[in-house]
């Protein structure tokens, strides 16, 4: 047996966690650093997680240099980029590789990028991104024989594009493509995620001219970017939700440091609804159930500022400890419930629901197909005493939810696929141990 966590659960957890840098911000900032010509870029609060390590390896294959000069301080040099074809094997491990279109097009005028990898939680809206690139003037073709996209940039991007549905990856890529645009580029129906704002702040600090007005973004072209001071990656709100869900479900108490309240507003509201105290304390927030039971609550996912799709697997486990029935509706991805069959192994009472939707093409944020069958809602009955189990991780957030369940369950559980969890959580084992959790990695 290897690549697994062995967890002894059934204990009340408590303690304090300082959040790491956000995975979904750090990866985009590393790629944006390749837009700087003959300059060294320094990013602080970069988490040392598997996804970051994979991306560093990938850009080094292209000729860039990147190294940690301190524990979470990454130094990036892009001036030696020599390849415009991204290796398929390594790109298949990490979805963000798709965003290499931007620096490679500006460096070489053309590039070859394979279909993106990452967690298989649905058919990601690549078509919206490709359409946006074409509208702004990039020539893009795809070969089903090779699995590669071929992009050519013959003139600087310009024009207007409105996303049919918000996509944070699409928003970030088109922003990067438009930095050196001709005149200006206007994007509408853009993603509102704070990680997008972190990217905008980084680029503007370096001389870009990007103006956001709600879901509208205007980019005025500049000739070059100039790095002037280290940039700080925002804290990981997904990590916050995971550890709060873990400790609160065990009826313990936790303080989360380095947290931005506005990025967790809807999560905080839901916590209060189910009977969890949310208190501002110094440089963080303290969370604990204020009664002897948790109450059930319904959620449906949507892009920021709504309830994040990444949070719902954690929320599902939390609801196994709440009294009553909770309904969870997934609107963002069409394959986000891979963990349900695994949670049932712990004794969780979860069933799929067929909820009628009047206008599914508008209601769902993925590309809904009328003639396809979907399972987009579950009901969770609780409270349930979970027992030990051996389970398999299918994707990053599902893996975190299975780990939470293992800590709630009495006995020894095995979580196969620990490396998937380590893709997005820095020092997961050490942080859980600091809360009193019993875990070892094999």
**Residue 119 annotated to the active site:** yes
User: What is the distance between the alpha carbons of residues 338 and 317, in angstroms, rounded to a whole number?
Assistant: 13
> Of these residues, 111, 119, 181, 190, which one is catalytic?
119
Neighbours of 329 (CB within 10 A): 19
User: What is the distance between the alpha carbons of residues 166 and 168, in angstroms, rounded to a whole number?
Assistant: 7
In the structure encoding, which two tokens stand for residue 299, read together?
């959620």
Neighbours of 7 (CB within 10 A): 24
Rounded-to-10 torsion of CA 289, 291, 294, 299: -60
Neighbours of 282 (CB within 10 A): 8
In the structure encoding, which two tokens stand for residue 331, read together?
């609107």
Q: Which residues contact 79 (CB under 8 A, 6 or more apart)?
A: 37, 38, 39
The residues that are catalytic are 119
């Amino acid at each position: 047996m290897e690549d697994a966590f062995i967890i002894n659960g059934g204990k009340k957890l408590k303690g304090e966690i300082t959040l790491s840098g956000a995975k979904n911000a750090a990866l985009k900032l590393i790629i944006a650093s390749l837009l700087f010509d003959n300059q060294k870029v320094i990013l602080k609060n970069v988490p040392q997680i598997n996804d970051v390590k994979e991306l560093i390896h990938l850009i080094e294959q292209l000729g860039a240099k990147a190294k940690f000069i301190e524990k979470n301080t990454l130094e990036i040099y892009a001036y030696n980029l020599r390849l415009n074809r991204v290796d398929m094997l390594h790109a298949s491990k990490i979805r963000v590789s798709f965003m290499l279109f931007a620096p490679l097009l500006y460096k070489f005028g053309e590039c070859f990028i394979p279909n993106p990898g990452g967690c298989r939680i649905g058919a990601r809206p690549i078509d919206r991104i490709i359409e946006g690139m074409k509208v702004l003037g990039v020539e893009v073709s795809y070969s089903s024989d090779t699995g590669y996209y071929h992009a050519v940039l013959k003139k600087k991007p310009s024009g207007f594009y409105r996303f049919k549905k918000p996509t944070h990856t699409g928003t970030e890529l088109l922003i990067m493509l438009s930095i050196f645009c001709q005149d200006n580029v206007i994007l509408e129906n853009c993603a509102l995620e704070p990680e997008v704002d972190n990217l905008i702040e980084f680029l503007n600090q370096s001389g870009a001219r990007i103006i956001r007005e709600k879901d509208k973004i205007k980019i005025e072209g500049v000739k070059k970017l100039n790095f002037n001071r280290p940039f700080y990656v925002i804290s990981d709100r997904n990590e916050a939700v995971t550890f709060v869900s873990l400790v609160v479900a065990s009826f313990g108490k936790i303080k989360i440091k380095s947290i931005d309240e506005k990025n967790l507003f809807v999560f905080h509201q839901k916590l209060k609804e189910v009977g969890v105290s949310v208190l501002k304390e110094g440089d963080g927030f303290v969370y604990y159930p204020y009664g002897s039971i948790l109450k059930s609550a319904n959620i449906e996912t949507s892009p920021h500022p709504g309830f994040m799709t990444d949070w719902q697997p954690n929320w599902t486990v939390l609801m196994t400890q709440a009294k009553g029935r909770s309904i969870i509706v997934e609107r963002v991805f069409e394959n986000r419930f891979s963990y349900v069959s695994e949670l049932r192994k712990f004794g969780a009472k979860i069933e799929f629901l067929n909820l009628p939707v009047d206008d599914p093409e508008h209601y769902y944020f993925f590309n809904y197909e009328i003639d396809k069958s979907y399972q987009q809602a579950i009901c969770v009955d609780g409270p349930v005493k979970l027992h030990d189990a051996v389970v398999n991780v299918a994707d990053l957030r599902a893996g975190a939810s299975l780990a939470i369940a293992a800590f709630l369950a009495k006995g020894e559980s095995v979580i196969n696929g620990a490396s998937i969890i380590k893709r997005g959580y820095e020092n997961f084992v050490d942080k859980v141990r600091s809360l009193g959790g019993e875990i070892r990695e094999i």
